[in-house]
Chain A
Amino acid sequence: MQRDVSDLQSSEASEISAGMPFIPFASAPAGGASETEAVELSINGENYRLTLDPRTSLLDAIRDHAGLTGTKKGCDHGQCGACTVHVAGQRVLSCMTLAVMAQGEAVTTIEGLASPEGKLHPVQQAFIDNDGLQCGYCTPGQIMSAVACINEGHANDDDEIREFMSGNLCRCAAYPNIVAAVRQAKAEMERA
């Protein structure tokens, strides 16, 4: 499926607050335009043709340009794990990845995890069942990390789960519940 999203300012953007002044994209200062480049990203199986400043991180491209705000910015320096996504099937930090460098690779974000019909991924369901979240802000990163942790074969016992989930800070400290969720999901994924 091909979808063109030139920027958030395009038709993809929705207006939340009634009466917000709509300023057409063309009227915005055009300064940046000459210094951008076309970047093509494959996110959750869809193709996004974006016009980006080459400095744009994959995280900002996903959030501000593709409009997928499930992926979170928690530190922007590789120290919290909130921005974890999968690139070519591996969990990585999107804040430390330049969007231009992710071209040609399959990017999966939290929005790409549930089935198209809306059936939750076993890890998502396990996070609900085990209350593996409180404020929920680190949760997309935790879940992307947990899916990979299981797929990598690094979820064989609680200690291993703890170690391999340690790149995702949870300030609410839902850690024991996250471990329980990973354990439950692993068992379900193995059954499936």
Chain B
Amino acid sequence: MNRFGYYKARDTGDAVAAAAAHAARAQFIAGGTNVVDYMKLDVLQPDRLVDINVLAKDVHGRIDVTSEGLHLGALVRMAEAQDHPDIKRDYPVIAESLMLAASQQIRNMASLGGNILQKTRCQYFRETSWPCNKRQPGSGCSALEGINREHAVLGTSPACIATYHGDFAQALIALDAIVSTAGPNGNRQIPFGQLHRLPGDTPEVETVLEPGELITSIDVPAGPHTRRSHYLKIRDRQSYQFAVASVAVALDLDGDRVRDVRLALGGVATVPWRSGEAEAVIRGNILDERLAAKAAEAAFAGAEPRQYNKFKVPAGKAAIVRALLEAKAMRI
């Protein structure tokens, strides 16, 4: 770990100003579960750490559930949101995606804003002696021809196939969440689906956030689909493992017919992955095993598997079918 200056921000404005003074070499820190980890690995080497935990004490630490939707302050801890009774009832996919992530210790620490921005767990990224375009642009991707069981099959590029490993983001992208930010150029709102960037030729650029721009809150619009929503996570271990494949799904049903559907995939893509293809197959139709399988086919039509992650295509498809049928069977 390199040396850094530590600064405890007093409020949002102070945090943004403190970061702006160091431009690209400043790093916000909240729970630290990702930042400290990657600093120890020498993957993140900030000059200055800006501690934003004080923000938890103001509006950015609050959860509000209204008829408009769900408002989550970015400094809310994962564990707090996972156990929130209104979220569990009205937005189960969010509670489940949080609950199935990491461990309770980590969920007690990690902020929701930090969770969204978590870095990939690709081993070739984490261990600095391997070539990695995301960590060191132009050095090559070790995973393309390497041990890539954990890697993505959707949204990949010849430069990077690292998986986005978060769970919560799949729920947010499925539910059309809006992210609010504060930055050197003022405040703005970003639709969740536009927050992360596909790796393309620049896998080192992971989001559209500007240097020094800080996520302050997340809004999830209410809708008839949020109560029948579900997060299914497939993994080798029963707990404390990143997804091999996961599905966030929300359904608005009229009997067996699907009025509306939202479907996102985790563990299989380079970014939080909304599957418009699968949704188009399902929307307006009777949801049964056959339709679910058709949607799953559509979701993975563009998959580009590699040597060791070929199974993610059938695994992801099976997960879609299972998640859809489990959501349909939910009692709400």
Bound CA–CA A117/B33 (angstroms)? 36
Contact of B4 among A55, A90, A148, A154 (CB under 8 A): A55
Interface class of chain A by DSSP: mixed
A167 touches B240 (CB 8 A): yes
Bound CA–CA A148/B105 (angstroms)? 9
Which residue of the partner chain A has the closest CB to B41?
A77
How many residue-residue contacts, CB under 8 A, span A and B? Answer: 74
A81 on interface, CB distance cutoff 8 Å: yes
In the complex, which residues 30-85 of chain B have their Cβ closer than 8 Å to any Cβ of chain A? 31-33, 36-37, 39-41, 49, 51, 53, 79
Write the nearest CB–CB distance from A60 to chain B, whole angstroms.
11
Bound CA–CA A145/B104 (angstroms)? 9
**Contacts of A152 on B, CB cut-off 8 Å?**
104
- Also in contact, A93 and B109, with CB within 8 A (given A77-B37, A98-B32): yes
A90 touches B239 (CB 8 A): no
- Also in contact, A76 and B239, with CB within 8 A (given A92-B105, A167-B103): no
B106 touches A167 (CB 8 A): yes
Contact of B36 among A54, A84, A98, A148 (CB under 8 A): A98
Bound CA–CA A92/B102 (angstroms)? 12
B187 on interface, CB distance cutoff 8 Å: no
Write the nearest CB–CB distance from B54 to chain A, whole angstroms.
11
Bound CA–CA A69/B109 (angstroms)? 23
Bound CA–CA A162/B53 (angstroms)? 30
A149 touches B104 (CB 8 A): yes
B239 touches A96 (CB 8 A): no
B1 on interface, CB distance cutoff 8 Å: yes
B185 on interface, CB distance cutoff 8 Å: no
Interface class of chain B by DSSP: mixed
Of listed B36, B40, B104, residue having the most chain A CB within 10 A:
B104
Bound CA–CA A152/B239 (angstroms)? 19
A137 on interface, CB distance cutoff 8 Å: no
Which residue of the partner chain A has the closest CB to B80?
A90
Which residue of the partner chain B has the closest CB to A153?
B83
Contact code string B240-267 (vs A, CB < 8 Å = 1, else 0): 1000000000000000000000000000
B6 touches A54 (CB 8 A): yes
- Also in contact, A90 and B108, with CB within 8 A (given A55-B4, A77-B37, A101-B53): yes
Bound CA–CA A148/B33 (angstroms)? 19
Bound CA–CA A96/B37 (angstroms)? 6
- Also in contact, A96 and B109, with CB within 8 A (given A57-B36, A163-B239): yes
**Contacts of B36 on A, CB cut-off 8 Å?**
57, 95-98
Of listed B1, B4, B105, B106, residue having the most chain A CB within 10 A:
B105
**Contacts of A96 on B, CB cut-off 8 Å?**
31-33, 36-37, 106, 109
Bound CA–CA A92/B33 (angstroms)? 10
Which residue of the partner chain B has the closest CB to A84?
B105
A143 on interface, CB distance cutoff 8 Å: no
Write the nearest CB–CB distance from B301 to chain A, whole angstroms.
35
Bound CA–CA A40/B77 (angstroms)? 25
In the complex, which residues 211-239 of chain B have their Cβ closer than 8 Å to any Cβ of chain A? 238-239
- Also in contact, A93 and B1, with CB within 8 A (given A78-B33, A166-B239): no
Contact of B105 among A57, A93, A101 (CB under 8 A): A93
- Also in contact, A55 and B3, with CB within 8 A (given A101-B51, A154-B104): yes
Write the nearest CB–CB distance from B216 to chain A, whole angstroms.
20
Which residue of the partner chain B has the closest CB to A97?
B32
**Contacts of A66 on B, CB cut-off 8 Å?**
none
**Contacts of A98 on B, CB cut-off 8 Å?**
6, 29, 32, 36, 49
- Also in contact, A81 and B238, with CB within 8 A (given A57-B36, A96-B37): no
Sample 5 A-B pairs with CB under 8 A, ordered by A number: A55-B39, A77-B37, A96-B36, A149-B104, A167-B240
Question: What residues of chain A have their CB less than 8 Å away from a CB belonging to chain B?
Answer: 35, 54-55, 57, 76-78, 81, 84, 90-93, 95-98, 100-101, 145, 148-149, 152, 154, 162-164, 166-168
User: Which 7 pairs, one residue from A and one from B, show the smallest C-beta to C-beta distance?
Assistant: A167-B103, A166-B239, A90-B108, A166-B240, A96-B36, A167-B105, A96-B33
Q: Please give 11 more A-B residue pairs, beta carbons under 8 A apart, in addition to A98-B49, A148-B104, A168-B103.
A: A55-B4, A81-B103, A84-B105, A93-B33, A96-B109, A98-B6, A98-B32, A162-B239, A167-B105, A167-B106, A167-B240
